[in-house]
Chains A and B, each alone.
Chain A
Amino acid sequence: MSTGIYLDNNATTMVSPEVVEEMMPFFSEQYGNPSSMHQFGDKVGRALKKARQQVQALLGAEHDSEIIFTSCGTEADSTAILSALKAQPDRKDIITTVVEHPAVLSLCEYLEKEGYTVHYLKVDKKGRLDMQEYIRLLSDKVAIVSVMWANNESGTLFPITEMAELASSAGVMFHTDAVQAVGKLPINLKESAIDMLSLSGHKLHAPKGIGVLYLRRGVRFRPLLRGGHQERGRRAGTENSASIVGLGKACEMALSAMAQEKTTVKALRDRLEHGILSQVSHCFVTGDPGNRLPNTCNIAFEYIEGEAILLLLNKMGIAASSGSACTSGSLEPSHVMRAMDIPYTAAHGSVRFSLSRYNSQADVDKVIEAVPPIIEKLRKLSPYWSGNGPVEDPEKAFAPTYA
């Protein structure tokens, strides 16, 4: 393993060594095509069946046939939304939120150009939805509701099981992009009204290039990829058997480590957060601190910019991420931060630390030590800052001509 402190687990995770070990034979001797009649294919076929059951167990799905392997979370999202539109051609509306991942947002923006109506639920300053607005929008014009379970930037959780119940009683299909939630929160789909759910392997210590669409038995479905009979004709294309086996193992491990998430991982996250907030002035936690993923901590450092913070952290071997515009090369700071009405001078300075069960207390303590001098160094360069605090009335004292 490379040296350094990795606190960017919402971006991607280390593949667990046990997962790698489980996968290895499927690159070499276990090369059969699971569709084949001979023993080479049969062994791989059995391995896929086991993996499907491991995913089923983590999700609490009723049947293993409700698990459809895809190439990634984005494919699962696209498959779910486009299927709902194809299967119900008379319904032209979609309900989603302003803080979704681009995997859903960009698709929705494209569908608007194609003539569909997309309702984007707004969030308040803590990133929470207005349930009354949601209830008002549910109608028989809506083909699908697609709402993320946990926000990738702030970690804020949406009341997905309640929202699914509401959709179900209005006769509307419900999909959730749960790539950040799966493996970090207990999920029991058979007890829920969720029709479809997306997950991504590389967010839970499986490799990149493998995802899952959970599709409740009986939900009307139209495949995105047509071709062979793989995945019961619902997702054609020869199976990525090594990665499927790896994902199965990762799901099994996540299930047995589930208690650790809300104890060990959460404790480390809280230690990190308290450590930083107690030493650095003019910074705050974004999102809804009382209702978020146990591993995520997003802190907005006022009057400085996130990319600069990341570069200095990186120099010390610490990996995190930021909602600043500069880190993505886009025009705006993170749409999630803007949706929560966080001012530009803070949104640009937001830094996300996301932990995993592979982080240690020593990691966290090093980060607590590293952050304050970095913030101080950058604030010394900032036109909004003077001495030990922001200049008086910062927005007025420095009001540049914007191009």
Chain B
Amino acid sequence: MWDYSEKVQDHFYNPRNAGAIEGANGTGDVGSLSCGDALRLTLKVDPDSDKILDAGFQTFGCGSAIASSSALTEMIKGMTLDDALTVSNQDIADYLDGLPPEKMHCSVMGREALQAAVANYRGEEWKDDHEEGALVCKCFAIDEVMIEDTVRANNLSTVEEVTNYTKAGGGCSACHEGIEEILTRVLAEQGVAFDPNAKIDMPKATQPKLTNIQRMKRIEELLDEIRPNLQRDKGDVELVEVDGKNIYVNMVGACGGCQMASVTLGGIQQHLAEGLGEFIQVMPSQELARQAGA
């Protein structure tokens, strides 16, 4: 049985704002192929203030789909449309005290219904911009499409690289067979055979040696390259100190307390090492303080 929070159960057993709104002026119909769930969100928007006066939902779906729909309507009532559009699927999940990883797409469906309904009110056409695949990594809710796209975009060839780029496989590791299968398939398209023993090549330090200033600038540039990935998860990274091969960083925002921080640091380390063409070690800045204290 699913480990649904009390909040999810409450919103499922006692759904708020069920049914279509009378005199609605914005409607969003979306479905999630991955669960066969579908949701119609109806909004009544005040044209003068752009405020959502009322919201109602009709859902064909499981317990968490109904709970996510109910939560969404509660959250957005009284908001302006622009404010409502800032509600993320994570906000919906947080409002419900979390959803099982397999059920996160229910909250995604809620957010999409909202975007579709606002677009409908504004007379715009809404297009869905993401595709969902079968869940591969249950620890971090990473699906097949996400892994495939990342493997293609970054020419990845090992499970370790997939973990560094997507987090998939960074937890219990039970999905490594599945990740290997994806790699085998994608690499085969490029005429390459998957090699489970492949080591990630470290480029040889053939470039001329950088000055300290050049090296620090290069490190900043390399960090900027991966920053968007961290920001997408509502986190960020700050460079604190460079001491020879030891590079100290500060993980901020969501990355700070994330249980994946060590894996993320591993990913940053790999990116810096490849970019600099030398072996370096990335450590959290707390380590610097600890060493100073010692």
| A401 proximal to B (CB < 8 A) | yes
In the assembled complex, A115 has its CB within 8 A of some CB on chain B: no
**Which residues does chain A contribute within 8 Å of B37, judged by CB atoms?**
305, 326
- Is A400 an interface residue, CB under 8 A from the partner? yes
- Cβ-based interface call for A348 (8 A): yes
> With A and B bound together, what is the CA distance between A333 and B32 in angstroms?
13
Q: 1/0 contact trace for A109-137 toward B, CB 8 Å?
A: 00000000000000000000000000000
Question: Is B65 touching A305 in the complex (CB atoms < 8 A)?
Answer: yes
Q: Give chain A residues whose Cβ lies under 8 Å from the Cβ of B236.
A: none
Q: Which of A308, A348, A398 contacts B36 (CB 8 A)?
A: A348
| A344 sits at the interface (CB 8 A) | yes
Residue A159 interfacial (CB < 8 Å)? no
Contact A383-B36, Cβ < 8 Å, known A305-B60, A330-B134: no
B249 within 8 A of A: no
Contact between chains at B58 and A400 (CB < 8 Å): no
Pair B112/A398 contact, Cβ less than 8 Å: no
| A-contact bits for B52-75, CB 8 A (1 contact / 0 none) | 000001111111111000000000
Q: Which of B13-21, B206-214, B267-275 contacts A (4 or more CB under 8 A)?
A: B13-21
CB interface residues, A 301-316, toward B, < 8 Å: 303-308, 311-312, 314-315
Q: Does A264 contact B (CB under 8 A)?
A: no
Given A398-B38, A399-B29: A329 in contact with B63 (beta carbons within 8 A): no
Name the one of B19, B31, B36 contacting A325, with C-beta atoms under 8 angstroms. Answer: B36
Q: Indicate the size class of the contact surface on chain A.
A: 20 to 34
A303-B60, A403-B112 known; A383+B126 contact, CB < 8 A: no
Interface bits A323-366 vs B (CB < 8 Å: 1, else 0): 01111011111000000000011011000000000000000000
Which residues in chain A, 349-403, are within 8 Å of chain B measured between CB atoms?
380-384, 398-403
A347 CB contacts on chain B under 8 angstroms: 36
- Known contacts A307-B63, A326-B61, A401-B126; A381 and B29 CB within 8 A of each other: no
Number of B interface residues at 8 Å Cβ cutoff, please give it: 43
Given A308-B12, A348-B36, A381-B18, A403 and B131 touching (CB < 8 A)?
yes
A308 to B126: give the CA distance in the assembly, Å: 29
Cβ–Cβ contact B40 & A325, under 8 A:
no
A311-B62 Cα distance, complex, nearest whole Å = 9
Chain B, interface SS category: mixed
One of B1, B59, B103, B116 near A383 (C-beta < 8 A):
B59
Q: Are A345 and B33 in contact (CB under 8 A)?
A: no
- Considering the chains assembled together, what is the distance between the CA atoms of A329 and B13 in angstroms? 21
Q: Are B29 and A305 in contact (CB under 8 A)?
A: no
Which of A308, A311, A326, A347 is most buried by chain B, counting CB atoms within 10 A of its CB? A326
* A403 touching B33, Cβ below 8 Å: yes
- Provided the pairs A399-B29, A403-B112 are in contact, do residues A380 and B19 lie with their beta carbons within 8 angstroms? yes
Contact A304 to B60, CB < 8 A, known contacts A326-B37, A403-B33: yes
Output the least CB separation between A296 and chain B (Å).
Answer: 22
A-B contacts at CB below 8 angstroms, number: 107
Verify B59–A382 contact, CB threshold 8 A: yes
CA distance A398 to B36 in the complex (A): 13
Q: Which residues of B contact A332 (CB under 8 A)?
A: 36
B31-A402 in contact (CB<8A): yes
B39 CB within 8 Å of chain A: yes
Q: Mark B107-135, 1 if CB is under 8 A from A, else 0.
A: 01100100010000000001010111111
Is B35 an interface residue, CB under 8 A from the partner? yes
- Find B40's partner among A329, A345, A398, A402 (CB 8 Å cutoff): A398
- Roughly how many angstroms separate A185 CA and B33 CA in the complex, as a whole number? 39
Whether B30 pairs with A383 at a CB distance below 8 angstroms is no
B34 contacts chain A at the CB level, 8 A cutoff:
yes
> How far, in angstroms, from A263 to B37 measured CA to CA in the complex?
40
Contact B132 A403 (CB under 8 A): yes
The answer to whether A383 and B12 touch (CB under 8 A), given A307-B63, A401-B128, is no
Query: Considering the chains assembled together, what is the distance between the CA atoms of A294 and B36 in angstroms?
Result: 31
Q: Which residue of A lies closest to B15 (CB)?
A: A381
A382 neighbours in B (Cβ, 8 Å): 58-60
- Which of B66, B103, B116 is close to A401, meaning CB atoms less than 8 Å apart? B116
Return A256 CB to nearest CB of chain B, in Å.
Answer: 35
When chains A and B are docked, how far (Å) is the Cα of A188 from the Cα of B55? 63
Q: Complex Cα distance A303/B36, Å? A: 11
Interface hits, A281-313 → B, CB 8 Å:
303-308, 311-312
Q: In the complex, A238 Cα to B36 Cα: how many Å?
A: 46
What are 24 pairs between A and B in contact, CB < 8 Å? A305-B62, A307-B62, A308-B62, A308-B66, A314-B1, A325-B35, A325-B36, A326-B36, A326-B61, A326-B62, A330-B134, A331-B34, A380-B18, A381-B58, A383-B38, A383-B39, A398-B29, A400-B39, A402-B31, A402-B38, A403-B31, A403-B109, A403-B130, A403-B132
B interface residues (Cβ-Cβ under 8 A, vs A): 1, 12-13, 15, 18-19, 29-40, 57-66, 100, 102-103, 108-109, 112, 116, 126, 128, 130-135
List the 7 closest A-B pairs by CB distance, nearest first.
A326-B62, A307-B62, A329-B102, A400-B31, A383-B58, A383-B40, A400-B29
